[in-house]
Structure 1
């Protein structure tokens, strides 16, 4: 999932350099959403690991 975030950030940066503001904004927004989902799932997996011990 983190790989998808990096991919969308790279797409956003390339689109911003080329002047495609709408595409860059959309790709950055998607990257943010995926990154926050990754963080939530990561914290949940950490908590489950601590609870099992």
Structure 2
């Protein structure tokens, strides 16, 4: 789930970056959010099935 969120955020960041930097601050915010979600996904232990 975290990888999906990180992937979507990275795609949104790339799309924003390619659109001539109209929303410069928003682009960097998306990049930071994607990195945070990716790091959370890497360090979070997988849940054990019951």
Please give the range of the TM-score, normalised by the shorter of the 2 chains: 0.7 to 0.9
Unaligned 5+ segments in structure 1 are: 46-53
Higher RCO (CA-CA < 8 Å; seq separation 6+): 2
Q: What CA RMSD, in Å, does the superposition of the two structures yield over aligned residues? A: 1.4
Residue 21 (structure 1) aligns with:
24
Q: Which has the larger radius of gyration?
A: 1
Which has the larger share of helix?
1
Unaligned 5+ segments in structure 2 are: none
TM-score normalized by the length of structure 1: 0.73
Residue 7 (structure 2) aligns with:
6
Number of residue equivalences: 44
Whole-angstrom CA distance in 1 between matches of 2:26 and 2:16: 6
Deviation at 1:21, TM superposition (A): 1.7
Deviation at 1:40, TM superposition (A): 0.2
